[in-house]
Amino acid sequence: MPLHMNTARLGLLVLVLAPMASCALTPAQLSVNYWAPGDVAASNLSWVPAGSAPRFSWQLQDASARRGVEQVSYRVQVENVGTGDSEWDSGTVRSNRTLHIEYGGEAPLAIDGRYRWRVQVADTGGDTSVFSAWHQLATAVPQEAWGNAEWIYGGATAAYNDQGTPTDVPPPQANTHGNNQLRTEFTVTEQQMSTMSHASLFYAGVGYSVAWLNGDKLAPEEALGPWTTWSQRILYRCKDVSSLLRPGANAIGVWLGGGQYDSTWTHAWWKGPRGSHPPLGLRVMLRLTLKNGTAITLAASGTGSWRASPSPFVSDDVYKGVVFDARNISDGFAAPNFHEGKEWVPAVPVPNSSTL
């Protein structure tokens, strides 16, 4: 009996292991657009512009180390995470391409959506791989979908003495002595939480911004934010914050910094004198999507609930460094139920924001 059992096990092992000897190429290191595999691994979510066709890429691995093996075809599948519906199945495409395969679905991907994709390949030996693991991707929102989210800033600025009393000072330059610490609170109901599909935070700071939601820093790996020629375009960030929301009170907190905005060398593209830029601004929209597809804006800059106070960063410049005033640190300002002192004032629309 023991010999019979061992023989059966050995036979089973042979049946299981035999197909592995002719294993086909394996697609790995999946990426979307210009998101590098390392970036995707860190965030576990690739963001693509709304309304554009994402482009899919992968690398090939062959554990058997065979020589002269090439990909001869691929098949890409895209699904809606929320519904499980297929958005696109390329079918088998005869091609050795592995870079920037454009999405070919009949309908464009919806704004602020959640999708997943995978790929299967076949090689010159006639072997077809198993499908890769699903890779997550999300779509952002176009500018026209930002609704009433306006550019805001801290309004009038002031200096404070050691007793915390405001003192009159001349108007500062755009990125100096500003009320560049902003916050807002908002409420999420139990029903919204129970029916939530996902939540996205979209935000842009001019020049740099550091954001928190309920005390959690949203981009801890980022020392300096993205920057562009601000007179032409402004980049915004996209974050999935589904796991950070909670029923009841929630809060967003942001520090703004000048960085390369209105810096000593900005005149390369800005014709006005230094300090003539609009002040440092913030534009934010937190969007909740329910399982039935309904989208709800939970928090947006310009809704009147935003408050501002002096930031610990009195001034900052990528070349001249930072002046940091630790007296302006407000522990817990990005958490709900924070007690605002007298230095907190209503945030207001950025003047001349059309020039941003």
The pLDDT-based confidence of 62 (bands split at 50, 70, 90) is confident
Q: Measured between alpha carbons, how far is 94 from 39 in angstroms, rounded to an integer?
A: 30
The pLDDT-based confidence of 129 (bands split at 50, 70, 90) is very high
Residue 238 has a pLDDT of: 92
Query: What average pLDDT does range 291-316 have in this prediction?
Result: 90
Residue 268 has a pLDDT of: 58
Query: What average pLDDT does range 98-107 have in this prediction?
Result: 95
Residues 6+ apart with CB under 8 A from 240: 45, 138, 198, 199, 200
Residue 230 has a pLDDT of: 76
Which of 92 and 228 is assigned the larger pLDDT? 92
pLDDT digits (tens, 9 = 90+) for 165-220: 444 443 333 344 578 999 999 999 999 999 999 999 999 988 788 999 999 999 87
pLDDT at residue 317 is higher than 60: yes
Residue 262 has a pLDDT of: 65
pLDDT at residue 225 is higher than 50: yes
Which of 294 and 177 is assigned the larger pLDDT? 294
pLDDT at residue 264 is higher than 70: no
Residue 121 has a pLDDT of: 95
% of the chain exceeding 90 in pLDDT: 51
Residue 9 has a pLDDT of: 34
Residue 125 has a pLDDT of: 82
For 13-27, 115-129, 211-225, 295-309, which range has the lowest pLDDT when averaged over its residues? 13-27
pLDDT at residue 24 is higher than 80: no
Q: pTM for the full model?
A: 0.83
pLDDT digits (tens, 9 = 90+) for 131-143: 999 999 999 999 8
Residue 319 has a pLDDT of: 77
Query: What average pLDDT does range 281-299 have in this prediction?
Result: 94
Mean pLDDT of the chain: 82
Residue 5 has a pLDDT of: 27
- A 10 A CB-CB count for 325 gives 15
CA angle 45/112/99 to nearest 5° reads: 50
Q: Measured between alpha carbons, how far is 134 from 139 in angstroms, rounded to an integer?
A: 16
253 touches 182 (CB < 8 A): yes
- A 10 A CB-CB count for 10 gives 10
Residue 303 has a pLDDT of: 82
Query: What average pLDDT does range 100-118 have in this prediction?
Result: 95
DSSP 58-104: EEEE-TT--SS--EEEEEEEEEETTT--EEEE---EE----S-EEP-
The pLDDT-based confidence of 149 (bands split at 50, 70, 90) is very high
